[in-house]
Amino acid sequence: MRRLTSTLILRRRLTVLLVALTLAAGLVGVTAPPVSAATGSRVVGLASGRCLDVVGNSRAARTRVIIYDCHGQPNQAWTLTNAGELRVYDGSMCLDVAEHDVTSPAVVQIYNCSGRANQRWTVRTDGSIVGVQSGLCLDVTGNLTGNSTPVGMWTCNNQSNQQWSKPAGPADASPPTPPTGARVANLRCDAVTFSWNAATDNVGVAFYDLYHDGQLMRSVSGGTLSADLTVVPGVTWGLYVNARDAAGNVSQASATVPVTPPQCQPDTQPPTAPTQLSASASGTTVTLSWTAARDDVAVRSYEVSRGGSKVGTVNGTATSAPGTTFTDSGLASSTTYSYTVVARDAQGNGSPRSNTATVTTASSCANPVCGVTQVATDTDIPWGVVTLPDGAILYSRRDAHDIVRLDPATGAKTTVGTVPNVASTDGEGGLLGLAIAPSFATDPWLYVMHTTASDNRIVRLRLSGNRLDTASTQVLVSGILRNKFHNGGRLRFGPDGKLYASTGDAQNGDNAQNRNNLAGKVLRLNPDGTIPGDNPFGSYVWSYGHRNPQGLAFDAQGRLWEQEFGNGIMDETNLITKGGNYGWPACEGTSGACGTAGFIAPKRTYPTAEGSCSGIAIVRDALYVACGRGTRMYRAVISGSSLTDVRTYFNGTYGRLRTVEPAPGGDLWLTTTNQGDKDSIANNSNEKVLRVDLG
């Protein structure tokens, strides 16, 4: 009864006011600043569909609050602060209960923020907004829904005129600090206890993300500082942790803690020898096949030897047996070779050798891959590779941060200079991709993608007389998020004269779907670093929804292909289209919510154990893919928009492969990444630069 009476009184009191308010509110928008100037979000009444609005766009203290058609201007942009204030006008004024009234009905207004209890609110999950001082609910007067109906306080009643959409929280752009004190205890064959010290954040740490080697293992709550993780006997992993706040900001990673779990039970019994090894030659390519060996536990791999030297490895996994074929390519013509195969179990016990198979190659190469020449070795990790107009190549050294000029004819190397401001990440970051424009001969800019202490960047600097002119350095794009892993890094000029770059998600999958963030994207820029006018979103972003793309190449039709690392299930090769969404993090390869409208499916996927591929190159419309964990190179024919006739080369021959690039004469450069590629230490690697002769 009291409610009815009060409502009627209030209605009468407000009738005159309503008319005036309607007129005043109708004037909003004439002089209001643009929508983008306002921080905060609209708060929409459930019953009316109208927005919580400050009358007349007035910033004056004691201005009343109404509902009005939503228009996104600053008098409708509210932010719920951590203190429970509801701020408006870019946070300059607060929603306030007039006269600290704690009895229903009470008037609400805006007022200078005071921090007092009549300006503090609790937003409940049922949509009610409750005054902390009074316990009354924010209420649209009289259950009315029209424009300019006053908003006041009323006894909470669960009706729809007291239910509102949730106001935005404070914009938190500050990531937590990196967790410290990462450590392990209780290492067993299949589990380890991983612990760390709490990170700090301006708002609060909401989650910790636990990784090994760039692969997310598990996320735990911000109150958790230890977790038991499942590990693999005998396999060395680098464990680390990132802190994440509720706004989704991810910290830099903790230090890496390597673990090598012991075997669960010792296996001392070697496999039986592989049998029935046979070899056949097609041109200068030899294909071997054999009958599987047996083991008391399981055969894990086969090692193939030619003339007594190991030339390849065929690996299985804990759940799948290794294959029983191997292709040896690029051999000399009209030459007789002898092969044997040895089987190993997971603990390294080797079988006796198989029978010897002997074969003679034909007089000419009949295969796409006709030979391999070692051009150079390096003590660091060659990452970006470009061929200069004079036939020499430049390659970047990831952890040494310098660039080497290599004459492939003589093997002579000279250092052309160190790129300024580069930092490695104790993971995958450092000095990464290189590119030159077709105009390089007359305008010698070298384009470089690299990590710094705070971001990833695309820069260019001039090459002058075989020296890097570091004083000429121009930062073209900065502020691309970085982390220990997932820094992307490949650069490639397109036939359209634009520079394309691949960026990783910086270990935060949400970045990949945020088109306002440059991480987890393929970017496209003009050579001078400006944004091309025909980019799809008015920014550098060309495509999005990528996890950690590290390969880019254009085919003869001018289409862009991209190679991308998945998390733990599968990797992918994509055909990139302008503005396309490639699905990460909801979809990994073809796993997850990949049927979501708008997601573009990969053209090929790879189990991560057979893939984890970085660089790609296209020569005569064949796609070549250099794989790390898969320790092989794939070749696929681009047929229409499909990849067909997929073949595997160099399986285990050179170990992990990083970069493949077109070489003069229709051949390939191919580089390895076997050691020291998950740290920041310079010159702790032993890598090869190879030339692959294509037929």
Stretch that binds Ca ion, among 146-154, 196-204, 252-260, 311-319 (CB under 5 A): 196-204
Options 24, 144, 203, 618; binder of Ca ion; rule CB under 5 A: 203
Q: Which helix (H) or strand (E) holds 510?
A: helix 509-513
- Beta carbon of residue 409, minimum distance to Ca ion (angstroms, whole number): 28
Per-position x/- string for 258-277, each x denoting binding to Ca ion as judged by CB under 5 A, each - no binding: ---------x-x--------
- In whole angstroms, the minimum distance from the beta carbon of 635 to Ca ion comes to 22
Cβ 536 to Ca ion shortest distance, Å: 18
Q: Quick one: which of 466, 388, 365, 372 has its CA closest to 434?
A: 388
100: annotated active-site residue = no
Bridge-partner residues for 92, per DSSP?
A: none
Ranked by CB distance to Ca ion, the top (closest) residue is 676
By the rule CB under 5 A, 628 interacts with Ca ion: no
**Residue (269 or 596) nearer to Ca ion, CB:** 269
Least Å distance between CB 531 and Ca ion? 25
Could you tell me the smallest distance in angstroms from the CB atom of residue 297 to Ca ion? 5
| Cβ proximity to Ca ion, 345 vs 687, nearer residue | 345
Distance between CA atoms of 93 and 112, rounded to whole angstroms? Answer: 5
* CB-nearer residue toward Ca ion: 40 or 330: 40
Structure tokens at 126: 């049922």
Pick one of 85, 101, 295, 571: the residue that binds Ca ion (CB under 5 A): 295
Q: Do 544 and 574 contact (CB within 8 A), yes or no?
A: no
Closer CB to Ca ion, residue 111 or residue 542? 542
Rounded to an integer, what distance in angstroms lies between the CA atom of residue 35 and that of residue 405?
A: 52
**Minimum separation from the CB atom of position 299 to Ca ion (A):** 8
Nearer to Ca ion (CB atom), residue 101 or residue 399: 399
**C-alpha separations of 156 from 110, 130, 131, 302, 415 in Å:** 21, 8, 10, 73, 74
Q: Give a three-class secondary structure readout of 389-416.
A: CCCCEEEEECCCCEEEEEECCCCEEEEE
Cβ proximity to Ca ion, 248 vs 529, nearer residue: 248
CB of 42 to Ca ion, least distance (A): 24
Q: Which of 328, 345, 428, 455 binds Ca ion (CB under 5 A)?
A: 345
User: What is the distance between the terminal CA atoms of the chain, rounded to a whole angstrom?
Assistant: 93
The conformation of residue 24, written as its DSSP 8-state character, comes to: H
Residues 566-605 that bind Ca ion (CB under 5 A): 582-583
Number of neighbouring beta carbons within 10 Å of residue 40: 22
Task: From the candidates 212, 401, 486, 546, give the one annotated as an active-site residue.
Answer: 486
- Nearer residue to Ca ion within complex by CB, 6 or 513: 513
- Residue 297 interacts with Ca ion (CB under 5 A)? yes
Nearer to Ca ion, 101 or 345 (CB): 345
User: What minimum distance in Å lies between the beta carbon of 277 and Ca ion?
Assistant: 21
Instruction: Kindly state whether residue 174 participates in binding Ca ion, applying the rule CB under 5 A.
Output: yes
Q: Does 426 bind Ca ion (CB under 5 A)?
A: no
Q: Whole-number minimum distance, CB 669 to Ca ion, in Å?
A: 21
Amino acid letter, residue 265: Q
- What's at 126, amino acid-wise? D
* Closest separation in Å from C-beta 342 to Ca ion: 13
**Which residue of 101, 661, 676, 687 would you call a contact of Ca ion, by CB under 5 A?**
676
The verdict on 292 binding Ca ion (CB under 5 A) reads no
The smaller minimum CB distance to Ca ion, of residues 202 and 526, is found at 202
What does the CA dihedral 571, 577, 578, 584 come to, rounded to 10 degrees? Answer: -30
Say whether the peptide bond before residue 662 is cis (omega within 30 degrees of 0).
no
What phi and psi values does residue 147 have, to the nearest 5 degrees? -55, 140
Closest Cα to residue 422, out of 385, 469, 475?
Answer: 475
Count of positions on this chain that bind Ca ion (CB under 5 A): 20
For residues 251 and 340, which CB has a smaller minimum distance to Ca ion in the complex?
A: 251
- Per-residue x/- mask for Ca ion, residues 358 to 397, rule CB under 5 A? ----------------------------------------
In this structure, what token pair is assigned to residue 511?
Answer: 């970045």
What is the residue type of 648? T
b/e for 146-160, b at 16 or more Cβ within 10 A? ebbbbbbbbbbeeee
Q: How far is the CB of 280 from Ca ion (least distance, A)?
A: 31
CB proximity list for 13: less than 8 A, separation 6 or greater: none
Asked if residue 681 binds Ca ion (CB under 5 A), the reply is yes
* SS3 of 208-242: EEEEECCEEEEEEECCCCEEEEECCCCCCEEEEEE
Binds Ca ion (CB under 5 A): choice among 53, 101, 245, 667: 245
Residue 332 vs 681, nearer CB to Ca ion: 681
Q: Kindly tell me which residue out of 53, 85, 101, 201 binds Ca ion, with binding defined by CB under 5 A.
A: 201
Among the listed residues 90, 172, 510, 693, the single contact to Ca ion using CB under 5 A: 172
Is residue 510 a contact point for Ca ion (CB under 5 A)? no
Going across the sheet that includes 325-328, the strands are: 275-282, 285-291, 325-328
Least distance in Å: CB of 467 to Ca ion? 25
> How far apart, in whole angstroms, are the C-alpha atoms of residue 555 and residue 681?
36
Token pair, residue 47, equals 């019953």
* CA distances (Å), origin 343, targets 203, 275, 289, 314, 648: 55, 10, 13, 10, 20
Report the C-alpha gap between 599 and 595 in whole angstroms: 7
**Part of the chain binding Ca ion (CB under 5 A), chosen from 437-445, 487-495, 622-630, 680-688:** 680-688
The smaller minimum CB distance to Ca ion, of residues 408 and 676, is found at 676
Q: How far apart are CA 219 and CA 428, in angstroms?
A: 21
Give the full edge-to-edge strand order of the sheet including 667-672: 369-378, 687-694, 667-672, 657-663
Using alpha carbons, select from 432, 558, 550, 543 the residue that is nearest to residue 493.
Answer: 558
- Check if the beta carbon of residue 140 is closer than 8 Å to that of residue 108: no
What are the residue ranges of helices labelled H in 623-677? none
Active site residues: 486
Point out which residues bind Ca ion (CB under 5 A). 172, 174, 201-203, 245, 249, 267, 269, 295-297, 345, 399, 582-583, 676, 679, 681, 684
